[in-house]
Every structure is written in C-alpha cells, then in structure tokens.
Amino acid sequence: MNVSDALLKRKSVRAYLDKTVQKDKIEYILNHAKHAPSGVNIQPWQVCVLSGNSKKSLDNKLKNAFLNKKDENMDYQYYPLVWNDIYKNRRKQTGLQMYKTLDITKDDKDKQLNQWLKNYEAFGAPVVLYFFIDKDLQKGSYLDYGMFLQSIALVAVEIGLSTCIEASLAQYPDIVKDELNISNDKVLLCGIALGYEDNSDIVNSYRTPRVELEEFTKFYE
C-alpha cells in the first residue's frame, strides 16, 4: 500500500473486533513511526502501550471518573475557548453525522451518554497507546508530535489495523499518570485506540467530509 492510499483509507474507527494485536505488530508500527521528523531531532515522543488487564484497569477508572462527574483537567487546552463560526459548524456537523448514523436523537441523553462513555475504553480496541511529552517543551515539539501520531495511524493502515486518535483519553491526566507511574513533569497529550476494525458495526460506516483544495490553499506564481 502506498502513502496516498493509506491517507485516503485511514479513518477514526469506533468499534473493534475482539482480536488480539500481536506485540510485534505494535513494535513494527512504532519502529516506523519513530522516523517522523522533529525539530533538531529531539524526538519528543514517549509512549505507554496498554492491553489486557492493564488496559481494563485504566479503562474502568476513566469511565468511573466520567460517570461520577469528575472535573476534566487536561494538561493543555486542546480546543479554542471561543469558537470561530467556520470551525464551530464543522464540529457540529461531525457530531450530527455520527448521531444520525447511530440513530441517536438530540433528546436521547442516555444513548448520547453511553456512546461518549465508549471513549474511555478506547471503543473496545484491544490496545490503547498513551502519549506523553515533557512539560518544558514548546509548540514546535507539539507539531513534531502530530507527525508522529499521523505516522502511527498510516503504518497501522498499511498492516491491516485501524486507529482512533483520542483527545478524550487525556481528560483525566492525574488518573492516567498515577496508574502508569508517570511523573507530573510530563504532559499527557492523547491516546490512540488500536485494533482490527469491526466492519459489521454501523458506527464505522460513515466518513467525515473534507473541504475542497480551493478553500484552504492559495497558489502564488
């Protein structure tokens, strides 16, 4: 599979088969993704890979935190505090698209809650990866990290696996760090669900649209 095909095939998968992902496949992904570029080659990525009982334990703690209405306390501000209408509308349409696919109405709060709760178990994927970065690193290293995360997603596609990159898994960094024995001088960036896509689950049937090239590009000659 070439890179162009992997880019078009990659999507956020929210239902996975109950099928083990072998450790050598995870190592293959990370050993290739580590070649992502980074400013002055500092390679800021730090990764924790969870499966089996380790994953179940943390999944349960995150779900309980959400159900008990624990305040979110992300280590950084992911989304804008005030939304530009363009981005606000794209965000809204993305949510509506998923709810329409799942036949969840805006008044069905129980179904909405249950769907959101799945975030904290990485949508049932057998593997979840958590990503950390040193607190003293700056915005350039966050750009580097984005390329690393994208590389993981693309290599996963190449070898027949699927992913979902989740900021929601960083909403309770104190719980994650305590569970994984990570010091507080690290920023928890996000998590990635990793596994084999369940093609029979309707949640995986839709694709979010992309704007046309002309809407985000200017050519100067």
Measured N-to-C along each axis, helices 85-102 and 109-117 cross at an angle, to the nearest 10 degrees, of 100
Residue 106 pLDDT: 85
Task: Indicate whether 129 belongs to any domain.
Answer: yes
191 sits in which H/E element: strand 186-195
Distance of CA 199 to the CA centre of its chain: 19
Domain span including residue 158: 3-207
pTM: 0.96
Task: Indicate whether 221 belongs to any domain.
Answer: no
At 142, which amino acid appears?
Y
Number of neighbouring beta carbons within 10 Å of residue 28: 16
Task: Indicate whether 215 belongs to any domain.
Answer: no
Residue 163 pLDDT: 98
154 sits in which H/E element: helix 139-158
One digit per residue, pLDDT tens: the chain, 221 residues? Answer: 999 999 999 999 999 999 999 999 999 999 999 999 999 999 999 999 999 999 999 999 999 999 999 999 999 999 999 999 999 999 999 999 999 999 999 889 999 999 999 999 999 999 999 999 999 999 999 999 999 999 999 999 999 999 999 999 999 999 999 999 999 999 999 999 999 999 999 999 999 999 999 999 999 99
Residue 141 CB contacts under 8 Å (≥ 6 apart), including other chains: 38, 39, 42, 44, 133
Task: Indicate whether 58 belongs to any domain.
Answer: yes
E strands, 42-166, in order: 46-51, 127-134, 162-166
Task: Indicate whether 15 belongs to any domain.
Answer: yes
Distance of CA 96 to the CA centre of its chain: 19
Task: Indicate whether 21 belongs to any domain.
Answer: yes
What distance in Å separates the CA atoms of residue 44 and residue 134, rounded to the nearest whole number? 7
Residue 60 CB contacts under 8 Å (≥ 6 apart), including other chains: none
Residue 115 pLDDT: 95
CATH number, residue 62? 3.40.109.10
CB of 175 closer than 8 Å to CB of 65: yes
Task: Indicate whether 217 belongs to any domain.
Answer: no
Task: Indicate whether 116 belongs to any domain.
Answer: yes
Domain count, the chain: 1
At 183, which amino acid appears?
S
